[in-house]
Amino acid sequence: MAIDINEDNLKHGLLGLVIAIVEIIRDALKHQALRRMEGGSLTEEEIERLGRALEEIDIAIDQMKEEQGVSDAVKQVRDGLDDLVDDVLDQIINPEGWEEETKLKDI
């Protein structure tokens, strides 16, 4: 990931990073909540409370992104992280192929 830093976009980029992390934690929360519900251990009232709370978090995050104008920045960070994870997995699955690719660039 190439980062082009200047004063203007430093705060912007940092905020994008922070909110991206918040979103990832939020997603993990949703995942866990879903598992609990599917596990059958929650009452209808508990499910109602859980759903409302999660929806409020969604709305708060969307609002934050809009107010700060960082929706694109957040998406970029998350897409970048996805690519990073893909690359690491590629390395693990095929270490020789990755080595070959880096060697060819400098015969």
Partner 1 sequence: MAEARYVYCIVASPQKVKLGKIGLDGNRVYTIPYQDISAVVHDCNAKPYESKDSEEVKNWVITHEKVVETTWGRLGTVLPFGFDTIIKADKDKGAEEVVIDWLKGDYQNLREKLHKVKGKAEYGVQVSWDTKFISQLLTEKDEELEKLSEEIKSKPKGVAYMYKQKLEKILRGKLEKEAEIYFKEFYERIKKCIEDIRVEKLKKEEEPWQMLMNVSCLAYKKGVEALGEELDKINSMEGFSVRFTGPWPPYSFV
25 vs 45: CA distance, rounded Å: 24
Taking Cα atoms as reference points, which of 79, 53, 66 lies closest to residue 15?
66
Interface residue list for partner 1 (CB under 8 A): 30, 33-34, 37-38, 44, 47-55, 79, 82, 86, 104-107
Question: Contact 47/107 with Cβ under 8 angstroms?
Answer: no
* Nearer of residues 24 and 53 to partner 1, judged by Cβ: 53
Cβ at position 17, least distance to partner 1 in Å: 19
Cβ at position 12, least distance to partner 1 in Å: 20
